[in-house]
């Protein structure tokens, strides 16, 4: 056979021609022309992570997907230090053929994705609060307190009407009154009403005893029920108006049967929802504790972006543990506090208030009186 000599070695002519055409390369140059390697790892139900090595240190790496009409460009990435990484999407339960190209050398590979797993939800469990909601770890909350307000009168084994102080401001205040016209149950809800009376009534104020033409309703579980930690929830509708003067609250107060060594606000208060008629589309939570020294701090002790339209039913929820308080409005997370402050490490009672406003929300001739806060239910779990 005819041949030539290279460094004293006779090579067949057909091999030399192959080297010149780039089809075969000497061993020391082979890595330069090698196709990129491919390694696959599923990361989600429809995503696979693709990694590999390239011959050159920083080449462009191109990905194509095989379709019925041919190879379709998918993406291009840049390798670093002979390595590349990217992700490709393939529908669960299907397969797809890809081609990766670098330095004019290609490698084909197939991705086979397993079918999306069938997730069977855990069975719904029931107790005295109805369907038991699930905690983040999947276990179910257990009912500790429930009032659906299905009767015709307030259950005084659960609730105490407030009569000890007033609501509002010097420009217009109401005495809290224990009366069916201010604290009533009917139509499937607790109805707390602020109204005007024909004969003035007197009650204690910060300045002594004063008379007013207005009375209102508030109840709490004072010395009847308190709980440290858990899930607290109420579904509430207030009076539809944008006129200033009305203030409603679903809130918790420390049980005074557990002595406190500090005064309010360091002693604590959990306002799950406060609604003000001059902000007709908001529910404003507020956590009172040592942070009050710096005033309201959205995202820490309050939030000013929790949507709750007046005149509509809204559900307010607190999930409370030793290290976290999370407040939800209609299932949407509204505020999270992770201070772990001592103020929130003791039992609290539950309170519901139909109040008159103060400050920028003071009552005026435009305030719709009478006004009623309807409470569909109150439920507490541990």
pLDDT tens sequence across 78-125: 999 999 999 999 999 999 999 999 999 999 999 999 998 888 888 999
Total number of domains constituting the chain: 2
| Contact indicator for 113, 88 with CB cutoff of 8 Å | no
Percent of the chain topping pLDDT 90: 86
Q: Which residue has the tokens 């990129």?
A: 36
pLDDT, average across residues 219-224:
98
Is 291 found in the same domain as 245?
yes
Is 130 found in the same domain as 177?
yes
Where in the sequence is the domain holding 60, given as residue range(s)? 35-119
Q: Which residues of 46-58 are buried (b: 16+ CB within 10 A; e: fewer)?
A: eebebebbbbeee
| Contact indicator for 11, 1 with CB cutoff of 8 Å | no
Is 227 found in the same domain as 107?
no
Q: How far apart are CA 119 and CA 45, in angstroms?
A: 13
The residue among 119, 143, 173 that closes a domain is: 119
199 domain-assigned: yes
Q: Is this prediction's pTM over 0.85?
A: no
C-alpha closest to that of 318 among 293, 297, 342, 344: 344
Is 143 found in the same domain as 99?
no
Is 366 found in the same domain as 219?
yes
pLDDT at residue 6, rounded to an integer: 37
pLDDT at residue 117, rounded to an integer: 86
Is 177 found in the same domain as 103?
no
pLDDT at residue 205, rounded to an integer: 86
Q: How far apart are CA 317 and CA 334, in angstroms?
A: 10
Is 165 found in the same domain as 107?
no
**Quick one: tokens of 58?**
């920083």
The residues facing 197 across adjacent strands are none
Average pLDDT, the chain: 91
Q: For residue 123, which phi and psi values (nearest 5 degrees)? A: -65, 145
pLDDT, average across residues 330-358:
97
Q: For residue 20, which phi and psi values (nearest 5 degrees)? A: -60, -35
141 domain-assigned: yes
Is 216 found in the same domain as 114?
no
Q: For residue 132, which phi and psi values (nearest 5 degrees)? A: -85, 120
């Amino acid at each position: 056979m005819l041949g030539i000599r290279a460094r004293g070695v006779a090579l067949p002519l057909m091999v030399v021609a192959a080297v010149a055409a780039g089809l075969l390369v000497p061993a020391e140059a082979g890595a330069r022309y090698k196709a990129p390697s491919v390694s696959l790892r599923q990361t989600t139900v429809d995503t696979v992570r693709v990694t590999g090595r390239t011959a050159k240190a920083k080449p462009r790496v191109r990905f194509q997907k095989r379709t019925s009409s041919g190879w379709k460009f998918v993406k291009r990435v840049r390798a670093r230090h002979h390595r590349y990484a990217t992700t490709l999407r393939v529908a669960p339960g299907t397969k797809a053929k890809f081609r990766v190209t670098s330095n004019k050398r290609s490698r084909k590979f197939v991705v086979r994705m397993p079918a999306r797993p069938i997730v069977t939800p855990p069975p719904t469990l029931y107790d005295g609060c109805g369907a038991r909601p699930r905690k983040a770890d999947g276990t179910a909350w257990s009912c500790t307190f429930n009032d659906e307000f299905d009767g015709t009168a307030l259950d005084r084994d659960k609730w105490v009407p407030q009569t000890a102080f007033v609501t509002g401001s010097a420009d217009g205040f109401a005495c809290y009154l224990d009366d069916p016209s201010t604290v009533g149950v009917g139509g499937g809800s607790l109805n707390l009403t602020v109204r005007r009376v024909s004969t003035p009534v007197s009650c204690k104020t910060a300045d002594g005893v004063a008379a007013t033409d207005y009375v209102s309703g508030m109840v709490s579980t004072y010395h009847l029920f308190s709980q440290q930690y858990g899930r607290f929830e109420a579904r509430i509708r207030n009076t539809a108006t944008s006129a200033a003067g009305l203030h409603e609250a679903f809130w918790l107060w420390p049980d005074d049967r557990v002595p406190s060594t500090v005064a309010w606000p360091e002693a604590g208060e959990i306002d799950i929802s406060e609604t003000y008629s001059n902000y007709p589309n908001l529910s404003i939570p507020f956590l009172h504790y040592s942070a009050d020294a710096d005033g309201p701090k959205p995202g820490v002790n309050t939030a000013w972006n929790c949507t709750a339209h007046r005149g509509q039913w809204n559900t307010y929820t607190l999930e409370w543990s030793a290290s976290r308080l999370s407040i939800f409005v209609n299932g949407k997370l509204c505020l999270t506090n992770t201070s772990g402050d001592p103020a929130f490490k003791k039992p609290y009672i539950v309170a519901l208030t139909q109040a008159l406003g103060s400050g920028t929300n003071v009552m005026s001739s435009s305030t719709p009186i009478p006004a009623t806060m309807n409470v569909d239910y109150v439920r507490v779990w541990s």
